[in-house]
Amino acid sequence: GENVEQHPSTLSVQEGDSAVIKCTYSDSASNYFPWYKQELGKGPQLIIDIRSNVGEKKDQRIAVTLNKTAKHFSLHITETQPEDSAVYFCAAISDSNYQLIWGAGTKLIIKP
């Protein structure tokens, strides 16, 4: 079955700098890769997603890149702000079992 690994588990960056979180997946049939942000006391919220027919997608300060050959995808946040502090999860899904498999999460800390 699918396995998703996420790194790093904790990331501390200076406000205004960029942050990059990386995930790898095992099932080559996976075709949908969402990223979720979870703030304290709340459920995760979708921030961006990408499908396997696209290599990169941007939405203002956030972007996701996908390398199907290497089976990894990354979240890029530029010009980080204090409100970006949260736990970020990557996930992957394949048509074979139609289950979202989640990474273990990255705690992003933005230092003022």
Q: Which of 44, 66, 84, 85 binds another protein (CB under 8 A)?
A: 44
Contacts of another protein in 71-100 (CB under 8 A) = 89, 91, 93, 97-100
CA nearest to 77, candidates 15, 24, 5, 31: 15
Distance of closest approach, residue 16 Cβ to another protein, in angstroms: 29
Contacts of another protein in 1-20 (CB under 8 A) = 6
CA gyration radius, the chain: 13
104 interacts with another protein by CB under 8 A:
yes
Query: Tokens standing for 33?
Result: 């890769």
Residue 7 phi/psi, 5-degree rounding, is -145, 145
Of 12-20, 21-29, 37-45, 64-72, the window that binds another protein (rule: CB under 8 A) is 37-45
41 interacts with another protein by CB under 8 A:
yes
The two most distant CA atoms of the chain are separated, in Å, by: 44
